[in-house]
Structure 1
Amino acid sequence: MNNEANQQPSSLHFLDYWRVISSRKELILAVAFLVVLTGTVYTLLLPNIYASSSRILVSEDSPEINPFAVQQNYMSTYNPYFLRTQFEILTSKPILNEVIYRLNLQSEWGKNNEILKRDIALKILKNSISVFQQRDTSLIVINVKRDNPDEAADIANEIAQVYRDSRLELASKSAREAIDKIEESLTEQRQRVANAEENIQKIREDLNIAVVGGEGQFDVGEVRMQQLEGDRLFAQREMVEKEGLLRILEDLNDKDLLERASYITFDQFVMNTIQQIQDIEVNLSSVQADYGDNHPEVKRLKSQIVTLEETLKKRLSALRNGLDTEYIIAKNNFESLDKVLASVRTDTIESQGAKFRPYRNALADLETERFIYNQLMSKHRQEIITLQVPQNPVDIIDVAEPNMQPVSPNLFLNVLLSIFVGLGAGVGLAYFIEYLDTSVKSADDLENQLKLKVLGLVPQKVRPLIEEGPDSENAESYRVMKTNLSFIANENEGMAHCVLSSGAGEGKSTTVFNLAYVAAQQGVKVLLVDADLRRPVQHTILGMSNRFGLTNVLLRDVPVEEAIKATSIPNLQFLPSGRLPRASLGVLDPRKIRELVQSLKSKYDLVFIDTPPIVGMSDANIIAKEVDSSILVVQYRKYPLNMIRKAVETLQAQSIDIAGAVLNNINVMRDDYYYYYQSYYSDYYQRDDDDAEADLI
């Protein structure tokens, strides 16, 4: 049983938590009201925010041209992460800075005609926009929230326009650079054709050769020379192609080479590596948005991208070196064929005569240069026409329009959130105050913490029963207290009890009066003694004089019989405290108190003594030492438990018998634990009154 009693205080029930909320509901409601009021006022003071949205349809770009490739490869693969990449591009600094420039937002957002800093304007703009994909489509919604509906619509439309322009510019920039390289080669080739024509004209004039409209007979040597000439032309074209592509690669830095690698070369390893980098970058964007930069998965993906880019750089470098080698081989092949052809041509010309040899060589050179020039010209025109074909990777589907209905602040939502936050803060504050409150809150604290028996529970705002009447609903509390005292103290005839309290203002005087009142009602001869010499109140309750009393008896001025006065209450007599002289503060002598108590016990059935507080005075200890038992009055939620424990320890150190404790001034409306106890007796006495009235009627 003892173990169970010791373990019981440590276990908390749900009702214990509810009791805290119920006892401090005024505080909780006050905090909730203040939070709701603050949230409502703050919401009403916030400016209205308007939202406008534009929708765009995005598609992937076609690959860039390869001017020296025999056949263009325009095969494209589906990229499931393409739209996520475009989300990041739409909110990137280049796009937003261009929007700020076009709409002159730095001046619009500046105060007092001042120009707002670009980084601040960029931050404001970025916080004002949100980009998301419309489900199961390739549509991107650009949503802008601003305090001006027209400004929100303009920004949404301008972002879509700037994004479309940037996509078109990026798609055509690389193609134009490649066409510019072809134009440079055309200029050089045109000059070479002109030089070859001038050379032929000069040879004709020098050798006085007349050109007729047909070719003569060719021998075996001339046929061989024509075959070599064809091989030389093919080798020369291959060399020029390799040279042009090599020039393009040499003009690109590492970053541009990585971006355009998939269009310059169709190496399968390069294509696969680029696809892996794109997939990892899209995955990195998603993971980085969810977990942040310091997450291990983010670091691992970044490391993979760096590794793949290094591998790709090495592969492209190898391809560049390979192309350089191929160019050298083609050049050497061309030079070798040129030397062989020159040798055959020399032999042929020598066989045909020295006169036609220079002319034939010049004519062959001219045909070669013209063939190369025509091939470049044809390719140049083809790619210009292809570039001029309309291509639009971004279509604006819906243009943003001003929305005059504000989307925030949401008064209903903010008030609702304020209610929840206020209630949560109030409950938290209530539990925090309850944690700091070390006063006595229940009868369990008296029994478990102070090891005192509980004689009775007294509700709040109880007045002396002489004012409320014998049929008061509060009188039953004192009857229960009187009964418990009789059982605990083994009450016989001639018993003396003193009523104590650890501090002032705990309801000790009212308790001892009402206890004497109910005892007198039961037919017991009772004497009420006011021993609180410094702050007597019993004479005020009874409406009697305090001129003579206990002080005069102890000073031997008057006999005790003359100091005791009869009251208007049957069976109840009263010994007031009397006026205490300034020079007689030590009037409570233990011997005199002992003699007086013994004398009064012999004359009365019960003697109730009202004493001063225990803490700070020795009067209560002197009186309690000489009576049969002591009753400790503890006010509900007033003094710290440690203070009351010190008072109890002081009494126990002097071997003073404490019959029990009374928990006084309980707020039954705030604490459900005592509410049902009080309401039961209240209803009981109310029914008795109603029955009595019915009988009278």
Structure 2
Amino acid sequence: MNLTQLLLILRARKKIVLGVLLAVVLVTTVVSLLLPKTYKANSTVLLNYKGVDPLTGMTMPGNLMPGYMATQIDIIGSKNVALRVIDRMQLANSPAVIEQFNEATGGQGTVRDWLAGLLLRKLDVTPSRESSVVEIGFSGSDPQFVAAVANAFAEEYMHATVQLKVDPMRRASNYFDQQTKVLRDNLEKAQSRLSKYQQEHGIVSVDNRLDVESNRLNDLSAQLVAAQAQLMEATSRQRMAQGGSDASPDVNANPLIQNLRIGLGNAEAKLAEVGQRLGRNHPQYQSAQAEVAKLRRDLNEQLSLTSRSVGANATVLAQREAQIRAALAEQKAKVLELNRTRDEMGVLMKDVESAQRAFDVTAQRGSQTRIEGQAEQSDVAILNPAVVPSEPDGPKVFRNLLLSVFLGIMLGFGAALVIELLDRRVRSESDLSDSLGIPMLGTVDWKNSARRRTGVLGSLMPRRPRLT
């Protein structure tokens, strides 16, 4: 079926199309006039989106705003908010409502759930396209009731957002409180281990003790170097004193030995002089010889004493060097022990610092979360509360008439096509050709006053052919 055939069918069945159209329009008009009037009240709320995570305190990116708006719309239309509205307005306590509930459900379920479903079916939540404003609309037959319900939805939605924000904060606060107790115990244990370690090792300040002991070790090292140098010098002098008195500077530098050598030289010179003048048995010669022998004995004795004193000095220096060496080794062991103690104590101090840092961060975050959990501030503000509507919102007669005209035309077209299919008639040349399956040679136009032959079989065709 082409467009021409369709137009011919509609023109032939125009009475049916017009009849169906008039019937639909008439029924729609009557129904629209008989329907009870409905009123709609709108309350607008403003969403002040901050996007702060209640547990971590991090600011969420702004590209999550569309999802946030969709979430808030779902919250407004949730059963939780509807139940809050019912409790706020005490609708479940009305005897009339309870009677309607029993008639509708036969007593199955609860009145609150049944009322929540009714309210949500009449609720209309419309977000703004370019702003954070959301419109909450409610429809009903009572203008004062719809305004009250719209405002109640706005108020309870605001309270619900506060609760949804505060509840995670409170749970997070409880979590932080538990963690704070655990971290406080860990800090106390770490401090106790550090104090016990200091008491066991008698440590007041590791750094000061280490500086003192290190300085003492350096002093002993310097003293050992000086003592070794003195011991080497004393040992060298001892060997020289023992090897030969004339080569020893200590022996030569002794003033008593020098005086004795001078006296011995004078005595020997006197003995030589006396020996030239007198004989060996002369008393003067013997006296001079005895004086020379005495001075020689005194000189040898002083040389021996000086050599022994040089050896004793070397022995003392050797003992002093050994003592300094032992003290240096002991001091080195003490410094190494202090280094080990400092390392162990440093580990304990790091444990204390880590525990203190974790405790401070957790306590600070817990305090902030606790304060935020106690805040009853909402991110939602009522921009325009709903007012009692003065004019009904429905039924919309004009809109219904326009829809009925469109629907009537479509139904009329459909009825015409159905009737045409049930009673198919020839409306054009193509219908005849398609029905008989033979080519058409000509047509006769009965509307002209003078007949005009259009083909060989044109005059033999009936005026109104009909297929049976």
User: What TM-score does the superposition give when structure 2 sets the normalisation length?
Assistant: 0.52
Structure richer in strand, relative to its length: 1
Identity %: 24
- Pair 1:238–1:17, CA change in 2 (3 A): same
Q: Say which of 146, 149, 171 aligns to 1:177.
A: 171
Structure 2 partner of 1:168: 162
Structure 1 partner of 2:411: 425
Deviations 1:220-249 (A, max 9, x none): 39x97899778646524634776xxxxxxx
Structure 2 partner of 1:238: 354
Deviations 1:172-207 (A, max 9, x none): 22333343355557778999999xxxxxxxxxxxxx
Structure 1 partner of 2:71: 85
Q: Extract unaligned runs of 5+ from structure 2.
A: 189-203, 213-337
Structure 1 partner of 2:19: 30
Deviations 1:91-119 (A, max 9, x none): 23333333344334556684735356555
Aligned counterparts of 2:365 and 2:17: Cα–Cα separation in 1: 83
Aligned counterparts of 2:354 and 2:402: Cα–Cα separation in 1: 77
- Alignment map for 1:520-559 (pairs within 5 Å): none
Aligned counterparts of 1:140 and 1:441: Cα–Cα separation in 2: 58
Aligned counterparts of 2:162 and 2:79: Cα–Cα separation in 1: 18
Structure 1 partner of 2:467: 641
Letter in structure 2 aligned against 1:163: Y
Q: What secondary structure, in the 3-state scheme, does the structure 1 residue paired with 2:99 have?
A: coil
In the alignment, is residue 147 of structure 1 matched against residue 141 of structure 2?
yes
Letter in structure 2 aligned against 1:173: D
Structure 2 partner of 1:406: 392
Deviations 1:101-148 (A, max 9, x none): 433455668473535655544443333222232232111222222222
Aligned counterparts of 1:130 and 1:85: Cα–Cα separation in 2: 15
Would you say how many aligned residue pairs link Structure 1 and Structure 2?
310
Aligned counterparts of 2:369 and 2:432: Cα–Cα separation in 1: 99
Q: What secondary structure, in the 3-state scheme, does the structure 2 residue paired with 1:89 have?
A: helix
Structure 2 partner of 1:156: 150
- Pair 1:25–1:375, CA change in 2 (3 A): closer
Aligned counterparts of 1:55 and 1:106: Cα–Cα separation in 2: 26
Letter in structure 1 aligned against 2:120: K
Structure 1 partner of 2:46: 57
Structure richer in helix, relative to its length: 2
Deviations 1:473-512 (A, max 9, x none): xxx98xx79x99xx99x9xxxxxxxxxxxxxxxxxxxxxx
Aligned counterparts of 1:127 and 1:379: Cα–Cα separation in 2: 43
Structure scoring higher RCO (CA < 8 A, sep ≥ 6) equals 2
Deviations 1:143-188 (A, max 9, x none): 2222222232222222222222222222222333343355557778
Q: What secondary structure, in the 3-state scheme, does the structure 1 residue paired with 2:84 have?
A: helix
Aligned counterparts of 1:418 and 1:121: Cα–Cα separation in 2: 33
Aligned counterparts of 1:391 and 1:238: Cα–Cα separation in 2: 36
* TM-superposed deviation, 1:37: 1.0
Q: Extract unaligned runs of 5+ from structure 1.
A: 1-10, 67-72, 195-214, 243-371, 459-475, 491-630, 643-697
* TM-superposed deviation, 1:430: 1.7
Aligned counterparts of 1:376 and 1:17: Cα–Cα separation in 2: 81
Aligned counterparts of 1:23 and 1:156: Cα–Cα separation in 2: 54
Structure 2 partner of 1:97: 83
Aligned counterparts of 2:354 and 2:407: Cα–Cα separation in 1: 78
Letter in structure 2 aligned against 1:36: V
Letter in structure 2 aligned against 1:52: A
Structure 2 partner of 1:112: 99
Aligned counterparts of 1:34 and 1:426: Cα–Cα separation in 2: 10
Deviations 1:260-280 (A, max 9, x none): xxxxxxxxxxxxxxxxxxxxx
* TM-superposed deviation, 1:55: 1.5
Q: What secondary structure, in the 3-state scheme, does the structure 1 residue paired with 2:46 have?
A: strand
Letter in structure 2 aligned against 1:80: M
- Alignment map for 1:214-229 (pairs within 5 Å): 220=209
Aligned 8 A contact 1:107 1:114 in 2: no
- Pair 1:231–1:400, CA change in 2 (3 A): farther
Deviations 1:332-362 (A, max 9, x none): xxxxxxxxxxxxxxxxxxxxxxxxxxxxxxx
Deviations 1:558-614 (A, max 9, x none): xxxxxxxxxxxxxxxxxxxxxxxxxxxxxxxxxxxxxxxxxxxxxxxxxxxxxxxxx
Structure 2 partner of 1:249: none
Q: What secondary structure, in the 3-state scheme, does the structure 1 residue paired with 2:161 have?
A: helix
Q: What secondary structure, in the 3-state scheme, does the structure 2 residue paired with 1:83 have?
A: helix
Aligned 8 A contact 1:446 1:454 in 2: no
* TM-superposed deviation, 1:434: 2.2
Letter in structure 1 aligned against 2:17: I
Structure 2 partner of 1:21: 10
Q: What secondary structure, in the 3-state scheme, does the structure 1 residue paired with 2:40 have?
A: strand
Cα RMSD of the aligned pairs, angstroms, is 5.0
- Larger Rg: 1 or 2? 2
Structure 1 partner of 2:33: 44
Structure 2 partner of 1:395: 381
- Pair 1:444–1:104, CA change in 2 (3 A): same
Aligned counterparts of 1:395 and 1:456: Cα–Cα separation in 2: 79
Q: What secondary structure, in the 3-state scheme, does the structure 2 residue paired with 1:143 have?
A: strand
Letter in structure 1 aligned against 2:76: L
Deviations 1:292-343 (A, max 9, x none): xxxxxxxxxxxxxxxxxxxxxxxxxxxxxxxxxxxxxxxxxxxxxxxxxxxx
* TM-superposed deviation, 1:54: 1.5
Aligned counterparts of 1:232 and 1:399: Cα–Cα separation in 2: 63
Deviations 1:405-450 (A, max 9, x none): 1222110111121122112211222232223224555788789859
Aligned 8 A contact 1:56 1:396 in 2: yes
Aligned counterparts of 1:51 and 1:142: Cα–Cα separation in 2: 10
Letter in structure 2 aligned against 1:411: V
